[in-house]
Amino acid sequence: MIFYEKSAAQYSSYKKRMRIPLEGGESEGGYLQNFCLRDGYLGGGVGSEQVTDGSVQISALFCVGGAIAGYAPSGKLCVGSALADSGFAFTGIPDCVALPDGDGMLLSDGQTCVSVTSAGANKLTLPFRTAVFAYGRLWRTSDGVRLYYGALDDYKEAAVGRGQTGYIDSPDAKGKILRLFFVKNEILVLREYGLQKLVAHGDEEEFAFEDILSCAAVNGGSAAATQNALFWLTAEGFRVWGDAKVNGYSQFFTPHVSLDSVRGAACGDRYFLQSQYTLPDGTVAEGLGVFDAQGGGYLIPQKAEGLVSVQNGVFFTHGGKGYTVTEKGNFLGGIAHRVWQSAPTQPFGCRALLGEVCVRSKGPFLLQIKSDEGSRALCFAGGLCRKRVLLAGTVFSFRVQAEECELYALSAVFQRGEDKV
């Protein structure tokens, strides 16, 4: 095959510049399913960092300040960096609330409550299924009907009396209390069929619930919150309250999520969901979904267990080891979440020469180009850059691998080839 130089009149017929959309996703160590792609951006990825060495098998990990706690498959509570047996046990993965001073946490399964700090673990008579610290008090419930509030600035005080510990019996048409959160300086009460706000300023006799919204049956395990937003799943889809907008998050995932045994977590503008996902081809994959406010969403095909968000961290376990989610790096199994693949491109329907590529980006990345006749790998440092490729073929594909990058434009210049007569 010979490539001929053409006159100006013939030039447009034999040479073309094409914009290359990055439409598909893949991973370094396994399959990565993209739910929604952001135009001009490679999508926000996450990595993970191992916290425990696996010498003690755990099903859930909790870290607040210098305090570390692990829930073992046997139900035992293990504490400290060595995950030593605390002598306490739970009937299931406990709920966790960080202490106001940031140096520890309270863990409870609704029957047993244990305080874990850097100094060790102690049992308290403050059982809860869900709890939150707000307005100088500890708010907790075990049965979803009676809501206890602690004494001001003394959460350990158990004596019931005016100005001390008290409770509110709160039967409601929206059902039992499933979760408590403190979002945008307000106590949010997520019930079986809706969301309320607890007005708890001033005199204790004036504490009251105010309705915010009603919704379909709520999955309590999916609920998670940041300082500014609350996320949860219902039988009819995904809900958000606060600064985030529901239409900012990928809507693809909700009809494809099994609501059995899901666990949610949140950090920054990201919502994490441990669940089983039905992929577009009909296969079912167990993994961790990650969704952000810009519409990005993807499935990490690794079995994550015990997903929790505590303070400003997201933790999970895999293979009995504890991990924390990080902003950078690879996930389990070497999965890199910033790897994106274009659809096959056939510029002329016959053999062609890829002469050059032009990119405009922020941040470095590796561009790999393949054709049916060969491949090229090019490194870009960022900014506006044009590089020669000189790769022949009929069908071309483009693959971008980046740790952290925004790709604003990717285009390629092709020249059609002619057979020598």
**Residue 3: predicted pLDDT:** 41
Residues 101-127, mean pLDDT to the nearest whole number: 95
Q: What is the chain's mean pLDDT, rounded? A: 85
Q: CA-to-CA distance for 189 and 176, rounded, in angstroms?
A: 10
pLDDT score of 42 more than 60:
no
Which pLDDT value is given to residue 192?
A: 98
251-256 long-range Cβ contacts below 8 angstroms, 24+ apart: 251/36, 252/35, 252/36, 252/297, 253/35, 253/277, 253/289, 253/291, 253/297, 253/299
Regarding beta strands 237-242 and 229-234, do their DSSP bridges make them parallel or antiparallel, or are they unpaired? antiparallel
Q: How far apart are CA 340 and CA 27, in angstroms?
A: 8
pLDDT at 202 over 80: no
Q: What is the mean pLDDT of residues 163-183?
A: 92
Task: State yes or no: pLDDT of 6 exceeds 50.
Answer: no
- Residue bearing the bigger pLDDT, 301 or 372: 372
Tell me how far apart the alpha carbons of residues 71 and 80 are, in angstroms, rounded to a whole number. Answer: 12
Please, what are the domains in the chain? Answer: 8-23+342-416 (2.60.120), 47-335 (2.130.10.10)
Mean pLDDT, rounded, for 193-219: 92
Confidence at residue 222, expressed as pLDDT on a 0 to 100 scale: 95
Task: Report the percent of the chain where pLDDT is more than 90.
Answer: 56
**Beta carbons within 8 Å of 116's beta carbon, 6+ residues apart:** 62, 67, 69, 77, 79, 86, 104, 105, 106, 107
Q: φ and ψ at 320, to 5 degrees?
A: 85, 0
**pLDDT at 236 (0 to 100):** 86
Residue 418: per-residue pLDDT: 60
pLDDT score of 295: 64
Q: Which helix (H) or strand (E) holds 76?
A: strand 76-79
- Are 221 and 263 in contact by the 8 Å Cβ rule? The answer is yes
Rounded average pLDDT over 264-283: 83
Residue 291 CA, distance from chain mean position: 6
> 279-291, pLDDT tens digit by residue?
666 778 788 888 8
